[in-house]
Amino acid sequence: MRSLTLLVSALLALPAVAAELPENHITNIFKPLATPAESEKSIALLVFAITGFIFVGVAGLIAYTIWRYRQPSGVHQHEEPPQVYGSNQIEVAWTVLPILIVFVLIGVSARVIAAVENASPPAAALKVTIIGHQWWWEVLYPDYGIITANEIHVPATPDGKNATYLQLQSADVIHSFWLPQLSGKTDLIPNRTNFMWIDPREPGIYVGNCAEYCGTQHANMLLRVVGQDPKSFKAWTIEQQRRAVDSPNAAEGGAVFQSLACVNCHNISGLGQASSGSKFGPDLTHLMLRQTLGSGVLKNTPENLRAWVNDPQVAKPGCLMPSMKLTPDELTKVVAYLETLK
């Protein structure tokens, strides 16, 4: 019992540790922090070089032509310049050269496409299933039996050998998974499973957005990936696998949670039902371990949590969680209960 308490309090300290991770808010695709984004940057630089070269050459030619042959306006010239109709050699030259350039680009693209798309996961790789909902992310770790939402923890892998393989599905409309510094995007499409992989090199927090318009709150369907060193990641998985801790002084709130409609949409393991997957809304079992609420729209603080439960439509108008019109007393009890969900 004592060691369990020690373990629990040690684990409770973890969110603070997570908060000390560097947060990458400026998601510049030219500052990649994982292999797919890295190779996409390399090909981008090649394309920049080629198109930059073309631009300088052609724009220079156009600018020179305009400057050299301009006449003062409004004056009608009486003598027409030599009437040149064309030149077959020139036409051939400036057709063949672009074709050659394009073939180079096609070849390089083919190589990168194959490298990113056809990479197959090694047997021991971490597999995460992401299911898109309007307007939140359901996150499953099938090998660990973990169900969570919106915040995805993966091991950071400096040598690139511990990539995380994502399986992408959707419960309703098309969404898209985009963390610019980790990888290009892949869509989540209903009735279809897509695959991608990420390998964040350093521990840190990576943010992104849903990148396919999916309705009213598409703008606030934010992504949060927490890359952790292997030990922290393991500890996190153990935490996530626990059922909800039933703290005695939140029993009332738990009863409120069950008696009101909350339990119709949200699953909390340890509330007496089998953990059978998220329902209509995110799994709340370890809500307090998440840094944000409402898939990134609010920081997870006590005031914000209270405001959110009271009326989610204020922070995220149009989202599918209605205000349950709780009395202040019911609200206090439910929020107190939620705050025990670590």
The interface with another protein within residues 98-127 (CB under 8 A) comprises 98-99, 102, 105-106, 109-110, 112-114, 116-118
| Cα 33 from Cα 198, distance rounded (Å) | 10
- Contacts to another protein from residues 15-74, by CB under 8 A: 25-30, 36-37, 39-40, 43-44, 47-48, 50-51, 54-55, 58-59, 61-63, 65-66, 69-71, 73-74
Report yes or no: 322 and 313 within 8 Å, Cβ to Cβ.
yes
**Closer Cβ to another protein, 11 or 43, answer by number:** 43
Name residues whose C-beta falls within 8 Å of residue 203's C-beta, 6 or more positions apart in sequence.
21, 22, 156, 227, 228, 229, 232
CB of 48 to another protein, least distance (A): 8
**Closer Cβ to another protein, 194 or 304, answer by number:** 194
Interface mask toward another protein for 163-192; x: CB under 8 A: -----x---xxx-x-x-xx-xxxxx-xxxx
- Contacts to another protein from residues 258-287, by CB under 8 A: none
| Cα 30 from Cα 27, distance rounded (Å) | 9
- Contacts to another protein from residues 297-316, by CB under 8 A: none
CB of 251 to another protein, least distance (A): 37
Write the CA distances from 248 to 10, 210, 245, 251, integer angstroms. 20, 39, 9, 5
**Closer Cβ to another protein, 2 or 70, answer by number:** 70
| Cα 211 from Cα 286, distance rounded (Å) | 27
Structure tokens at 305: 């949590």
| Cα 223 from Cα 196, distance rounded (Å) | 15
| Cα 233 from Cα 231, distance rounded (Å) | 5
Structure tokens at 103: 């073939």
| Cα 331 from Cα 315, distance rounded (Å) | 17
CB of 118 to another protein, least distance (A): 6
Stretch that binds another protein, among 87-95, 144-152, 227-235, 237-245 (CB under 8 A): 87-95
CB of 143 to another protein, least distance (A): 23
CB of 86 to another protein, least distance (A): 4
Report CA 73 to chain centroid distance, whole Å.
55
Which of 94, 122, 246, 277 binds another protein (CB under 8 A)? It is 94
* Site membership for another protein, residue 153 (CB under 8 A): no
Amino acid code (one letter) for 109: S
CB of 102 to another protein, least distance (A): 5
Interface mask toward another protein for 211-230; x: CB under 8 A: xxxxxxxxx-----------
Q: How many CB atoms lie within 10 A of CB 154?
A: 24
